[in-house]
């Protein structure tokens, strides 16, 4: 994949594309109504009888037996071959977002995502992430979109506006596009807190975002089509 310009200090391989711009007691039953459990076609239904009290032990036993028939579905983190990801990265607070990006890409590599299946798109700040994520999601090219940014509190209320808008923008992008858009925007009180979460004592949240993207992409691709 052709390499375009990227921030000079970002160490990325050439094949990664970059674009810059209490429980209630059962004795509370009504005295003349009993709920009896009926099993039919692996589903539960309740009917009313007009005498006596239901046995709570009998009801609980039936519920426990029926639980084994419930199907549980989850995404897989075993492999990522064939999955394509877009990463939208804010340039603002770039010293932090570059580290988050590196963590995300390294995680993808560990799970066998090919470098040519990763596309990085740079935007000015976290406020602009949502609209780009939605566009990428609707393109049909990607299985998930990572949204990476860093918003650090200052002396005004601007922090609250940007942080809230970034979160709602990413949420809307996923809902409107039908493609998982993963929120990886740090909202921190100061720069030290942000650096601790981008490869410091608190780990790398970019790597965690990539893991979430892998699981959601797998879930959508293999179970929710």
Q: Residue range 58-72: average pLDDT?
A: 66
Domains of the chain are: 31-67 (no CATH), 78-222 (3.40.50.960)
pTM across the whole model? 0.71
Q: For residue range 34-59, list pLDDT tens digits in order.
A: 344 334 444 444 344 444 555 666 65
State residue 28's pLDDT score. Answer: 44
Q: For residue range 131-167, list pLDDT tens digits in order.
A: 999 999 999 999 999 999 999 999 889 999 999 999 9
Computed over every residue of the chain, the mean pLDDT equals 81
Strand pairing report for 144-152 and 34-40: unpaired
How many other C-beta atoms can be found within 10 angstroms of the C-beta atom of residue 220?
A: 17
Distance CA 78, CA 75 (A): 9
Distance CA 146, CA 154 (A): 25
Q: For residue range 91-101, list pLDDT tens digits in order.
A: 999 999 999 99
Least confident of 14-18, 46-50, 120-124, 184-188: 46-50
Please identify every residue annotated as catalytic.
Answer: 158
**Contact partners, residue 34, CB within 8 Å, separation at least 6:** 48, 49, 50, 51, 52, 53, 54
């Amino acid at each position: 994949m052709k390499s375009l310009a990227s921030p000079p200090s970002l160490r990325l391989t050439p094949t990664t594309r970059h674009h810059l711009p209490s429980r209630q007691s059962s004795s509370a039953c009504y005295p003349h109504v009993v709920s009896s459990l009926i099993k039919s076609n692996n589903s539960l239904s309740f009917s009313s009888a007009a005498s006596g009290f239901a046995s709570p032990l009998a009801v609980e036993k039936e519920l426990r037996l029926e639980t084994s028939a419930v199907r549980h579905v989850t995404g897989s983190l075993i492999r990522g071959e064939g999955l394509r990801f877009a990463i939208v990265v804010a340039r603002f607070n770039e010293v932090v977002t570059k580290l988050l990006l590196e963590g995300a890409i390294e995680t993808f590599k560990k799970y066998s995502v090919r470098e040519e299946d990763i596309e990085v798109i740079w935007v000015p700040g976290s406020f602009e992430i949502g609209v780009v994520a939605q566009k990428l999601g609707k393109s049909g090219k990607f299985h998930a979109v990572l949204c990476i940014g860093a918003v650090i509190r200052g002396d005004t209320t601007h922090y609250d506006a940007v942080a809230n808008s970034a979160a709602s923008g990413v949420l809307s992008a996923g809902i409107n596009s039908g493609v998982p858009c993963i929120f990886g925007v740090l909202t921190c009180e100061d720069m030290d807190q942000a650096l601790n979460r981008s490869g410091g004592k608190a780990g790398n949240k970019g790597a965690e975002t990539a893991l979430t993207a892998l699981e959601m992409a797998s879930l959508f691709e293999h179970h929710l089509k």
